[in-house]
């Protein structure tokens, strides 16, 4: 296998690879790689990202939500209950736990979406679908709370 064929085979383009068999020659491969670089310089992403945009968004979002979950310094104030003075939060531990459960459910659902097969007629597949649907609902419901 020629060096350019090895490069094409192992060049990761998000979730996609370029198969050396897709190119007639090294020149064709190099021309395509140049087009890709020019597109990425202009737009800031690979056009291959749009071939499966929902998958790319899930792969982009999951590690960020996971990091946010592990490094969050608070919780949405809608989870807070205040003491008689109206200022002191009396349920901070419970609010932190509740927020962590929501972020975990989002992470779990996105992970299952990325890794899972949703086309089997099995109880496991149905459970993955439910986790995914729940993750999407939670992400939308708490989207504006994703700040620290």
- pLDDT tens by residue, 89-129: 889 999 999 999 999 999 999 999 988 877 888 999 999 99
Residue 23 token pair: 């190119």
- pLDDT tens by residue, 61-96: 999 999 999 998 899 999 999 999 988 888 999 999
Q: What percent of the chain has pLDDT over 90?
A: 52
How would residue 148 be classed by pLDDT, with cut points 50, 70 and 90? confident
Query: SS3 for 43-106, per residue?
Result: HCCCHHHHHHHHHHHHHHHHHHHHHHHHHCCCCCHHHCCECCCCCCECCHHHHHHHHHHHHHHH
The Cα–Cα gap between 95 and 78 comes to 9
The structural domains of the chain, with segments of one domain joined by +, span 3-45, 52-145
At residue 18, the pLDDT reads 65
């Amino acid at each position: 296998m020629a060096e350019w064929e090895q490069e094409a085979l192992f060049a990761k383009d998000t979730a996609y690879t370029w198969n050396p068999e897709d190119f007639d020659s090294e020149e064709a491969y190099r021309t395509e790689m140049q087009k890709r670089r020019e597109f990425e310089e202009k737009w800031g992403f690979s056009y291959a990202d749009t071939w499966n945009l929902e998958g790319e968004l899930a792969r982009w979002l999951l590690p960020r939500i996971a990091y946010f979950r592990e490094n969050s310094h608070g919780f949405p104030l809608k989870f807070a209950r205040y003491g008689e003075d109206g200022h002191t939060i009396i349920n901070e531990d419970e609010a932190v736990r509740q927020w962590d459960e929501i972020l975990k459910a989002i992470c779990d659902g996105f992970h299952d979406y990325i890794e899972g097969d949703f086309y089997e007629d099995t109880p496991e597949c149905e459970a993955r679908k439910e986790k995914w649907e729940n993750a999407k609902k939670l992400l939308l419901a708490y989207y504006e709370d994703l700040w620290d």
